[in-house]
Amino acid sequence: MSFITRKTFRLLQLRNLTYSACKIRQYSTKTKATFNEEESDKSKQTHFGFKTVNEEEKWKKVHEVFETVAEKYDVMNDAMSLGIHRIWKDIFIHRLAPTHGTKLLDVAGGTGDISFRYIDYLKNLGPAPENKQSSVTVSDINQAMLDVGKLRAQRQGYTKELSGVDVQWLCSDAEKLSLPDDSFTAYTIAFGIRNCTHIDKVLEEAYRVLAPGGRFMCLEFSQLPNSGMQWLYDQYSFQVIPVLGQLIAGQWKPYQYLVESIRQFPDQEKFKGMIEDAGFRQVTYENLTFGVVAIHSGFKI
């Protein structure tokens, strides 16, 4: 083989090796990018009941659930809890113990259950001093729930003119409230935080909008410390509640989701730790009805 031929052959070999190396690098880069995209997609997934869904999909599904059940929401609460939810909410407000001049933000409070109890509590304290204007802002991400609450407020006399308490209604996301910093002295959320995609963001927002010294309070379904009682409660939840939903509200799936969402929510101690991580201090909790629900409390200090 002549010198020119050998040189040409070597150049061809070098070109082929270079081409192969480039293809390998391209494949490796593409594979890595695909892997990263898949990992990113996984990291953006969350639970909707017992199902795994994308975060954006959960928001839509939860919104649909409460759009569907808004009109029968209070009736179903009575049926599912045998009316005990009313006692839980009464205890919740008594633990808050608001005074005249309190500025309350009630999140996920669309139908007004907590806000109306707050107004009643203030009425029972007697006439408010002239320089003490109490207020409540009812915030909910679902306009249908707020519409139900507004109608109830008008029918039952929970307006500023009749109650003396300034009542505002706000359609807003608990994870990104359209409210200024340090603007409330109390924050309540009852049976709502477990439906949020990012519980940590809800807690951070609660901390942000509360003024120093302000109090955070959450009423939520929890876990029974007794395994035998938890088993009985599970049987009731999964076998009875969806059936009641179908019979009373004509809806099975929304109430199946509500039961599943309760089981996915952190237990009392873990949730307490999450509240502390958000910056709250003096965090405590109290079990009601053996731990079926729990009241968590913390202060912005």
Per-residue confidence (pLDDT) for residue 215, from 0 to 100:
98
Per-residue confidence (pLDDT) for residue 51, from 0 to 100:
56
User: For the packed helices 268-277 and 199-209, what is the interaxial angle rounded to 10 degrees?
Assistant: 50
> Mind listing the pLDDT tens digit for each residue in 49-64?
555 657 766 656 555 6
- Binding-site positions: 111, 140, 173-174
Query: Does 70 score more than 70 pLDDT?
Result: no
> Mind listing the pLDDT tens digit for each residue in 261-270?
888 899 999 9
- Confidence band of 295 (pLDDT split at 50, 70, 90): very high
> Mind listing the pLDDT tens digit for each residue in 153-181?
999 999 999 999 999 999 999 999 999 99
- Binding-site positions for S-adenosyl-L-methionine: 111, 140, 173-174
Query: Does 34 score more than 60 pLDDT?
Result: no
User: By C-alpha distance, which of 276, 282, 260, 94 is closest to 188?
Assistant: 94
Query: Does 187 score more than 70 pLDDT?
Result: yes
Indicate the residue type of 143: Q
Q: Are strands 184-190 and 103-107 parallel, antiparallel or unpaired?
A: parallel
Residue 180 vs residue 66, higher pLDDT = 180
Question: May I ask the CATH architecture of the domain 59-300?
Answer: 3-Layer(aba) Sandwich (3.40)
Q: Is the pTM of this model over 0.95?
A: no
- DSSP per residue, the chain: --HHHHHHHHHHHHHHHHHHHHHHHHHHHHHHHHHHHHHHHHHTEEEETTEEEEHHHHHHHHHHHHHHHGGGHHHHHHHHHTTHHHHHHHHHHHHH---TT-EEEEET-TT-HHHHHHHHHHHHT-SPPTT---EEEEEES-HHHHHHHHHHHHHHT-SHHHHSSEEEEEE-BTTB-SS-TT-EEEEEEES-GGGSS-HHHHHHHHHHHEEEEEEEEEEEE---SSHHHHHHHHHHHHHTHHHHIIIIIS-SHHHHHHHHHHHHS--HHHHHHHHHHTT-EEEEEEEEGGGTEEEEEEE--
- Confidence band of 13 (pLDDT split at 50, 70, 90): low
Select, from the ranges 18-32, 91-105, 249-263, the one with the highest average predicted confidence (pLDDT): 91-105
- Confidence band of 40 (pLDDT split at 50, 70, 90): very low
- Confidence band of 10 (pLDDT split at 50, 70, 90): low
Window from 40-49, 91-100, 207-216, 282-291 with minimum mean pLDDT: 40-49
* Exposure letters 230-254 (e unless 16+ CB within 10 A, then b): beebeeebeeebbeebeeebebeeb
- Domains of the chain by residue range: 59-300
- Separation of alpha carbons 84 and 289, rounded Å: 9
User: For the packed helices 84-96 and 73-81, what is the interaxial angle rounded to 10 degrees?
Assistant: 100
Per-residue confidence (pLDDT) for residue 3, from 0 to 100:
42
> Mind listing the pLDDT tens digit for each residue in 195-213?
898 999 999 999 999 999 9
